[in-house]
Structure 1
Amino acid sequence: MGKQLVLLMSMASIVLSCTFRTKEDGVFAQLPQEIRKYIDSIHVTPLGAYHPEIKVEKMGDGMINVRLTYTITDTLRQNDWSIGIVPSFRPEFNWAPHLTPTDEHIIAQHVFRAPAVIMSNDTKLIAVLPDIDLIKNGSPVKWYMDMDAPGNMIALGASNYGVKEHVLFTKEEGAVYPPGKFEYGFKILVSDKAADIANPWRKILSYYWREYGKPLYDRGEPIATDLDAYVERTYKWAFGSWKEAVWQEFKINGRTVGAPVFIVNVTQSPNYGKMVNEREFRSIWNQAWFSSLRSASGLYRYAKKTGNDTLLQKAKLGKELALAFPQQNGFFNGLIATEMEKTEVDGEEYNKSKGWGSYYFGNSNRNPVTWDAKESPFHILDMSWTAYLMLKWYEDLEKDKRLLDYAVRYADALVGIQGKDGFFPAWLDRNTYEPLNILKKSPESSMSVTFLLELHKITGKSSYRDAALRAMDAVIEEVVPVGKWEDFETYWSCSRYGGDHLGRKFERNNMYKQNNFSIYWTAEALLNAYGLTHEKRYLDIGQRTMDELLMTQASWQPPFIYVKTLGGFGVMNADGEWNDSRQSLFAELIMRYGEVTSNLEYKERGMAALKASFIMMYCPENPITKEQWEKKFPFFGPEDYGFMMENYGHGGLTDSMGLGIGPFTIYDWGNGAAAEAYNRIMDHQELVPIKKN
């Protein structure tokens, strides 16, 4: 036993020697001197018995490229291989695209949209970027990254992986390296410049767009054709081939109202041929995601442009629906729904609506209180968004004074509940109107900033401006510097992991669970605050916030994503979506930043986001996506052209046979939202870097 122990200790010593003797004879020894002062060591774990050929190349402006090439002569089975980079300084700021809350978690290549791991303090910054050229060329084993903040370690590696929770990634066994060359590489970016430390994402984004995004964009990615065809597909689908399932028209207190339904699924296809099973309760929402008023405004623009009176009347019915939501002390609900019932046929249970005669008003059931929309609390975010859309309709489309009056009543109630700290609460008790304690100091306040600044612009009332800027400064002070991007979607949508960390960071990553929706609201509010006050600090912080948002935008085309990706957005650092529908909402704001900063990259990124908003549509104009739909749902045909899932790869896994394609369409968070964005942006031609496409 003693000899075995000595042998094991000896073997361990050999492994450690192979792993850590890098300052003398490994990657570290080849680093330029200006890079070495940022790095204490680089650890390369053994890959079998093979030794890599190491090449380090200067790229300029504080960036180098490191490439390791292994020549494998016989099939190698090794579960994990990694490189660890230890900075020479103790960072205070950490950023990575995905949470790795334990040692078993990794940042899988599935979420490599603009992949980087960043660490910095007041005087130094280091960022590590995987070499996506090598991933594009094909790798026998999947890549990953990791960040251990307490251990002061940035890691890259190769391993099989699986999905846990919704959606985090963990290593799995079974990686195999076939005979031939295995290449692995990464970039190291360092800086001691104050501007780079203040905005650690700008250089990374500029690099990714210059090297990968722009060449694709200039070739017409993700869509090279005119987007008008996609808008026409949307409206023909919603008000033509699928109208029986989509269009809802009914009366509220004698007033005719109407809008497309919240959600439909593949069982409602004219080509399905079996019984319909409604996915969720039949409803229409005016909420931060699913806004029927937003979609109606896009339909209004399209109908006016094309002279389509039928569609114009439907758009106006959407406006009437929003105005029909009763106000209570200025506040109002976020959705209207029907009662549902279960029916059983041949042993199968089906979900069915009781019809609009059973309607009730409620609020989003994505909240910390209840899944019951009837009992859900008032959501300030949803109300501020809807009231803002009323103002934009009033300003841009029709001078319907009812819209302005409705918004003013809400604004007066909103200002009345602002906290002494400047924040607006997230939720109000639906019976007492008292603020709930959850998310009382969150970036959801930024949406109310945008709404109140717009109302101030219309009315000239200073109390709206003052309340808005107080909230803006609160978000700047308490949210932006630490990345506390917590909102309703962060914890109360499908990705509910980490609820026990509400209001505190994950220690291993020194990061909050983050959602890019609240980054967007804040970037928008900051730009609007700058437009009103002309204070440059709002623009500087706004651009930093916009760049943080853009780190969740795809800058390249991964070979493991089986639809076009350029310009599409993910959601948060604990979920798996690509091409999420929020990109249609983000597109114009990105372009506006391009206009204000005279930065063409932003304008092109914004147009790429707009194009990506249509990529998931089932139609002949998207042949690659169409093929994926038909592999998943072979019964799809021309009557389904226009059907569009809200995102791709949501579950963290994809394949060429349709895995990653979902089963439903949310008109107000999918094709209808994309059409609205296009119609609105085309009315603002000064923002567009190129005509239409």
Structure 2
Amino acid sequence: MINAHVGGHWQRIRMTPKLEPSVGDYEARTADGTAYRIRFNSIQDSGKLKLPGLAQMWKVEIEIRPGSSNVVAGVQAEFPADRGMNCIWKPHLSPSEGMTIGDKVFRSPAIVLEDAARLAALIPDLDHMEKNRIIPHVMDYVQDRHALLYGCSDYTEKGHVYYELTPVPRSLPDNADQLVMKFYFMEWKKCPSVTRDLRPVEQALWALYGGPRMEVVGLPELRELETYASHTYAWAFDRWKDVTWQQFELNGTQVGGVVFIVKATQKPGLGQENVWREPKSLWNQAWFCSLRSAYGYYLWGRNRGRPDWMDKALLALEFALQAPQTDGLFPGYYEAGEDQSWDRGQWIMSPPRRPPGHADFVHLPDSSWTCCWLLKWYRDLKRDRRILDYVEAYVNRLLTLQSENGSFPSWVRPVSGEVSPYLQESPECSLHLMLLCLWNEIRPNRTVLQAAERTASFISERILLTGRWEDFETYWSCASQWEGKQHGELDRRSGLYNQCTFGMYWTAEGFKELYRATSNPVYLNEGERVLAELSLYQQLWEPPYFPVPTLGGFGVMNSDDEWNDARQSLFALTYFDYYALTGNWSYRARGAWAMKASFYMMYCPENPVVKRMFEKVHPHFDEADYGFHMENYNHHDGTAVDGIGEFTIFDWGNGAAAASLAELLFRPDNDKEDSFE
């Protein structure tokens, strides 16, 4: 079936088989003389891809030869899916009729279905598309018709962020008499007892696109990225220091950190230094963690002979330890007073990006992430007994909040213990798994390890098998809830959950650490399953319709459209760790390119295309602003101009990326670290 946009509306055109023998060859011709053809070519020898279990592989070609007008608008070929197979993954959701998956989210594009015996995937031919994209490509799976669609059409953004088909009639270029789109359809044999294992699809995408690009181009030498760290710290600690670096007294103790968010217009000397986009604040939260960034500039300071950076990092450690505990629980957000004075500031239990009415609930994942970094500080940098006491109080309270099934709530009132109804069973639990494993590493404890294993069982059974990767960012950030996107509910047109990559990252980390703690290969296997799904959000090519580099970067979720998102600097470390455990070279390459992509959006001479884009939008920028860093690209929050945003977040962009690079370059030798009991 072909759905063609003709005369201002969609028409369904039935295809008929051609007479000559072939695996599958169908055609149709409409009254205006336009010819449509769909050809299925069986690929008999796919051995060079080295894909275990691959049973069948087809190359599907869709050809359109327009009539005398030489005009094409929208075309979608529709393929009925086997009634016994269920859709288990697609890269983007299209909750309302008329929506689609646009090629602006074709990072590692695939639509995946399975039944008890088979796994199948539709995978666009990115090599063909890279050179032959005349009209934007689109694809989708629609549950009520149980159909796969692939074709071409213009589309526009709808909400934050979906894509709506908006076909625009256009003539083909003079050198083209037809429009051709290509994709693969692959089918694997699988064990009936294995459900929702996306590794074969991830491996196929790597073999087709990632490997040839990331290995032929060559792995970036991590040392070459040091220049970006230099820009980062010169910007934050020297050139913009009067805006970015915040130091004040809290409870009689000097504390410090780089402020949460600054705008381009706050450049020193322009008179708007104290005009804030959001409340002036310091965070230790699952996204924006000043303690993580400080871990990085402590390492850089130690290795570059910069004791001033190390001193600043110690002030950030003090800030984290000053958060007051209530039976172990503590806030993660300190906001300056109305006059922008830290002296009149206050702690707030849950930072913004929370459900309504939750300011006085503690967001447990924020606390566990902060405690993970406290323990890394203790293990790698500074043996301060206060760290252990602080974390121990929190872990003891956390264990009392674990449910019988191994899960933890997300938001809790510290005194009453009231549990929020939101995300009571979610992949946010994997952050606690990470913490419990790290605590057990430093203070071996059988009870803690058993609690970690219960959490791992919950994640395997209730999250991994259903793809329910919901977390706070999925619903309470810029891509928020609306009628077609509700917490805990399946997407109505696909039957899939809204999902975010953060939960996948925490879970891959948690299983990895539990494997290290127990040597149980089941946990490593589960971790690799999660890592495969996370990999479907990695950018395996350089789309010609994006002006910035993209190879190796990451997207965020299946209801938003960012590329090169700052989280990739965290993911880089995870891939390197899995490479160390498995020897899988693709993990090493993915990690290296994710690390490189973490600096793509920095304003500096090393990024000439991005630099020119910055200067077009912010003409006041010059060498004093080298290091200013966007958190991602293609993020439509209403403030970006020509793809360039107005703000930077040190603890999520440049400072966070520099911290991950420090971990890769200077992994501490625990026999030679500083020790301060």
Same fold (TM over 0.5): yes
Q: 3-state SS of the aligned residue for 1:648?
A: coil
SS in 2 for 1:251: strand
Helix, strand or coil: the match of 2:35? coil
Equivalent residues of 1:271, 1:639 under 8 A apart: no
Could you say which residue in structure 1 is the equivalent of 2:15?
20
2:376 to 385, 392, 405: 392
What is the match of residue 343 of structure 2? 357
Matches within 5 A, 1:87-106: 87-106=81-100
Deviation at 1:627, TM superposition (A): 1.7
Unpaired stretches in structure 2, ≥5 consecutive residues: 1-6, 47-53, 670-677
Q: Comparing 45-54 with 440-449, which one deviates more in the overlay?
A: 45-54
Residue aligning to 1:666: 649
Q: Among residues 130, 143, 156, which one is paired with 2:124 in the alignment? A: 130
**1:467 Cα deviation from its structure 2 partner:** 1.3
CA contact (8 A) 2:232 2:658 kept: yes
Deviations 1:459-496 (A, max 9, x none): 11222111111111111111110101111011011111
> 1:307 maps to which residue?
305
- CA separation of 1:47/1:329 partners in 2, compared to 1, >3 Å: closer, same or farther? farther
Match of 1:249 in 2: 247
Q: How does the TM-score come out when normalised to structure 2?
A: 0.90
Query: d(CA) in 2 for partners of 1:42 and 1:389?
Result: 59
Distance 1:324 1:47 in 2: 76
1:430 CA drift (Å) = 5.0
- Aligned partner of 1:282 in structure 2 is 280
- Amino acid paired to 1:521: W
Q: Which residue of 1 aligns with 2:108?
A: 114
Q: CA deviation at 1:219?
A: 2.1
More displaced stretch, 266-275 vs 638-647: 266-275
3-state DSSP of counterpart to 1:183: strand
Segment drifting more, 225-234 vs 284-293:
225-234
The separation in 2 between residues aligned to 1:143 and 1:183, in whole angstroms, is 11
CA contact (8 A) 2:88 2:196 kept: no
Q: Aligned partner of 1:101: which letter?
A: P
Q: Superposed, which structure 2 residues align to 1:159-170 within 5 Å?
A: 159-170=153-164
Identify the residue that residue 681 of structure 1 maps to in structure 2: 664
Offset, 1:253: 1.4
Q: Distance in 2 between matches of 1:221 and 1:617?
A: 20
For 2:673, the equivalent position in structure 1 comes to: none
Residues 196 and 203 in structure 1, CA contact (< 8 A), matched pair in contact too? no
Q: Distance in 2 between matches of 1:43 and 1:432?
A: 68
- State the alpha-carbon separation in 2 of the partners of residues 67 and 333 from structure 1: 56
Q: Kindly indicate whether the alpha-carbon contact (under 8 Å) linking 1:74 and 1:178 is maintained by their aligned counterparts in 2.
A: no
Q: 1:183 pairs with 169, 180, 183, which one?
A: 180
Distance in 2 separating the partners of 1:248 and 1:200: 46
Residues 298-326 of structure 1: CA deviation (Å, up to 9, x unaligned): 01100000111111100110101101111
Q: Give 1:377's match in structure 2, choosing from 361, 365, 386.
A: 361
**In 2, are the aligned partners of 1:45 and 1:81 still within 8 Å (CA)?**
no
* Pairing of 1:420-435 with structure 2 (within 5 A): 420-430=404-414, 432-435=416-419
CA shift in 2, pair 1:44/1:73, >3 Å = closer
The answer for the alignment partner of 2:353 in structure 1 is: 366
Q: Kindly tell me: are residues 48 and 556 of structure 1, through their superposed partners in 2, closer, same or farther at Cα, counting changes over 3 Å?
A: farther
Question: How many Å apart are 1:194 and its aligned residue?
Answer: 2.6
Higher helix share: 1
Do 1:42 and 1:83's aligned partners in 2 also have CA atoms closer than 8 Å? no
How much has 1:175 moved relative to structure 2? Answer: 3.5
Give the match for residue 8 of structure 1: none
Q: Per-residue deviation at 1:635?
A: 1.8
Post-superposition shift, 1:435? Answer: 1.5
| 1:155 is aligned to 2:140 | no
Equivalent position amino acid for 1:30 in 2: S
- Where 2:548 maps in the other structure, the secondary structure is coil
Amino acid at match of 2:182: G
The CA deviation at 1:279 is 0.3
Once residues 296 and 275 of structure 1 are traced to their aligned partners in structure 2, the CA distance between those partners, rounded to angstroms, is: 23
Does the CA contact (< 8 Å) of 2:286 and 2:366 recur in 1?
A: yes
- Deviations 1:160-193 (CA, angstroms, capped at 9, x unpaired): 1111111111111324132523121111111123
3-state SS of paired residue (1:395): helix
The answer as to whether partners of 1:369 and 1:376 remain within 8 angstroms in 2 is: no
Match of 2:49 in 1: none
Contact 2:407–2:455 (Cα < 8 Å) also in 1: yes
Three-state SS of the structure 2 residue aligned to 1:483 is coil
What's the counterpart of residue 63 of structure 1? Answer: 57
In 1, the alpha carbon distance for the partners of 2:119 and 2:399 equals 41
Look up the SS of the partner of 1:463 in the other structure.
Answer: helix
Match of 1:31 among 15, 18, 23: 23
Matches within 5 A, 1:279-678: 279-340=277-338, 353-362=339-348, 363-370=350-357, 375-430=359-414, 432-498=416-482, 501-651=486-636, 659-678=642-661
| 2:116 and 2:192 in contact (8 A); partners too | no
Contact 1:439 1:487 in 2 (8 A): yes
Structure 1 range deviating more: 633-642 or 502-511:
502-511
Deviation track 1:37-72 (CA, whole Å, cap 9, x = no partner) reads xxxx98989696332564725152432222234444
Distance across 1 between alignment mates of 2:30 and 2:107: 28
| Residue in structure 1 matched with residue 4 of structure 2 by the alignment | none
Deviation at 1:542, TM superposition (A): 1.2
Amino acid at match of 2:660: A
Query: Counterparts of 1:359 and 1:276 in 2: how far apart (Å)?
Result: 16
Q: Distance in 2 between matches of 1:99 and 1:43?
A: 30
Deviations 1:98-157 (A, max 9, x none): 011223110011100000111111112221111212321142211111111232211112
Q: Secondary structure at the match of 1:298?
A: helix
Instruction: Mark the CA change 1:546 to 1:277 in structure 2 (over 3 Å): closer, same or farther.
Output: same
Q: Closer, same or farther in 2 for the Cα pair 1:331/1:256, shift >3 Å?
A: same
Structure 1's 276 and 283: CA in aligned 2 closer, same or farther, altered over 3 A? closer
Q: Residues 452, 200 of structure 1: CA spacing in aligned structure 2 closer, same or farther, 3 A cutoff?
A: closer
Q: For 1:511-538, what per-residue CA distance to the aligned partner results, in whole angstroms no more than 9, with x for missing partners?
A: 0010110111111111111222222221
Pairing of 1:37-52 with structure 2 (within 5 A): 49-52=33-36
Aligned equivalents of 2:138, 2:275: Cα separation in 1: 39
C-alpha distance 140-272 of structure 1, shift in aligned 2 (>3 A): farther
How far apart are 1:503 and its partner, in Å? 1.5
Equivalent position of 1:690 in the other structure: none
Identity %: 35
SS of 1:327's equivalent in the other structure is: coil
Change in Cα spacing, 1:175 to 1:273, as seen in structure 2 (3 Å) is farther
What code does the residue aligned with 1:448 have? Answer: H
The 1-side partners of 2:415 and 2:331 are apart by 12
* 1:266-277 aligned within 5 A: 266-270=264-268, 272=270, 277=275
Change (3 A) 1:498 1:477: farther
Amino acid at match of 1:444: E
Equivalent residue pairs, number: 645
- Please show how residues 227-242 of structure 1 align to structure 2 within 5 Å: 227-242=225-240
Partners of 1:303 and 1:461 lie apart in 2 by 34
Structure 2 CA distance, aligned partners of 1:293 and 1:154?
Answer: 46
2:198 aligned with 1:201, yes or no?
yes
- The answer for the alignment partner of 1:213 in structure 2 is 210
Pairwise CA RMSD: 2.7
- 1:652–1:313 distance in 2 versus 1, CA, 3 Å: closer
* Structure 1 pair 685–302 and aligned structure 2 pair: CA distance change class (3 A): closer
Q: Alpha-carbon deviation of 1:369?
A: 2.4
Q: TM-score, normalised by structure 1?
A: 0.88
The separation in 1 between residues aligned to 2:665 and 2:590, in whole angstroms, is 16
Partner of 2:675: none
Q: Distance in 1 between the 2:412 and 2:196 partners?
A: 35
